[in-house]
Amino acid sequence: MSNAPALSLRRRMVGLASSGTVATLILLLFALWVVFAITIGDRFFSVNTLQSMAFQMPELGILSLAMMLALLSGGLNLSIIATANLSGLTIAFLLTRYIPGSQGLAWVGIQVFAIAAGFAVAALVGLLNGFVIAYLGVSPILATLGTMTLCKGLAIGLSRGNVISGFPEPIVFIGNGTVFGVPFALIVLAFCALPVALMLNATPFGAKVYMIGSNEKATRYSGVNTRAVLLKLYLFSSLLAGVAAVVMLARFNSANAAYGESYLLVTILAAVLGGIDPFGGFGKVGGLLLALIILQVISSAFNLLNLSQFLTLAIWGGILIAVAAVPHVAGKAPR
């Protein structure tokens, strides 16, 4: 049975739902810029402030993309931070063990090998998540909670909770260097966001992801191999966590089992604020990126106002509650 008409309809529905979300987010972003411009003044528009925002956003943005993929299928990936830290520690161990004294092609080769090993770890976690969820029928929240605990336990046990630091300059450049004034890490985020957007919007695989998020059983009955799609989806999600691992260890010039733990719930906040339906089936990368910019603007503005970062977290939490409550207040609560 051909499912082409269903895929086409799904694309049109997602596009219509997304356009309204993007317009709302643009208005919200504009309003925030006006308020903070009046409150803070020229400091808010300084090159240093804008560059600081650009340096801080990439790792959270890449992790949010990883979370978005799982949410679109109606699932959840609680293991992205633990996966990133385990991958980062793998890379860090290999770099600090073999880099000193290396030269020439061996010096470059070892760095490439270390990053590849980190991605291999991320891929294994993703395949484990996908297999347990798609083929064993375990709930995504339970499956990824289990892999999160597994990865965190391995990371702490193997590193004994210590920080591994001191990486070669090309690695550090990934998180701290600039290209024509643009942080290289921001370029990495763009090179992650663009393929994800194309995959979701312009490929049959992306349409199948949206269909699974809307109704997995109906999608399976229509002839789609939902198990294979979910396996690949969680693999891609974990590989994005691997990219985030590289950016994080490069920016901090260190790796640890506890880095970025506060990011987990923020990735869900960014996704929901960006218009991704937490029940699955709807959402666009553009909305997610706008949501990330909004959250970063709030964080940077509060920092310039010398307000506590805990207050920033409180505001973010309030935004999540508001976004979740609006459909119910409007009488349009999702299924």
pLDDT, one tens digit per residue, over 264-280 is 888 998 898 888 888 88
Name the 3-class secondary structure at 100.
coil
For residue 129, the model assigns a pLDDT of 96
- Quick one: pLDDT at residue 13? 43
Exposed (0-12), middle (13-18) or buried (19+): which is 177, by Cβ within 10 Å? Answer: middle
β 182-183/164-165 pair status = unpaired
| In the block, residue with structure tokens 């029940």 | 279
Is 66 inside a domain boundary?
yes
Q: Which helix (H) or strand (E) holds 327?
A: helix 309-329
Q: Say how far apart CA 301 and CA 46 lie, in whole Å.
A: 12
Which residues, at least 6 apart from 309, have a Cβ–Cβ distance to it below 8 Å?
299, 302, 303
- Cα R_g (the chain), whole angstroms: 20
Domain membership flag for residue 335: no
Per-residue pLDDT tens digits for 103-157: 667 777 888 899 999 999 999 999 999 999 999 999 999 999 999 999 999 999 9
Residue 187 domain boundaries: 4-329
The answer to whether residue 70 sits within a structural domain is yes
| Residue 50 in tokens | 């804008």
Q: What is the pLDDT of residue 237?
A: 96
Q: Kindly report the CATH number assigned to the domain that includes residue 210.
A: 1.10.3470
Tokens of 272: 């929901």
Amino acid 73: pLDDT: 92
d(CA 118, CA 163): 17
The answer to whether 146 and 76 are in contact (CB under 8 A) is no
By the 8 A CB rule, do 34 and 256 touch? no
**Domain annotation covers residue 240:** yes
User: In this structure, are residues 148 and 86 in contact, taking their beta carbons and an 8 Å threshold?
Assistant: no
In this prediction the pTM is: 0.87
Q: Which strand (E) or helix (H) includes residue 164?
A: strand 164-165
Per residue in 143-185, pLDDT tens? 999 999 999 999 999 888 889 888 888 889 998 998 888 899 9
Which stretches within 73-215 are classed as H helix? Answer: 80-98, 104-134, 140-159, 169-176, 184-202, 204-214
The tally of domains found in the chain comes to 1
- Cα separation, 186 vs 231, in Å, equals 28
Residue 217 in any domain: the answer is yes
Determine, yes or no, domain membership for 90. yes
What local confidence, expressed as pLDDT, does residue 26 receive?
85
Q: What does the chain come to in residues?
A: 335
Domain membership flag for residue 334: no
pLDDT at site 205: 93
pLDDT at 199 (0 to 100): 94
Tell me if 92 is assigned to some domain.
yes
SS3 labels along 114-142: HHHHHHHHHHHHHHHHHHHHHCCCCCHHH
Do the strands 182-183 and 178-179 form a parallel or antiparallel pair, or are they unpaired?
A: antiparallel
Which residue positions in the chain have pLDDT lower than 50?
Answer: 1-2, 4-17, 333-335
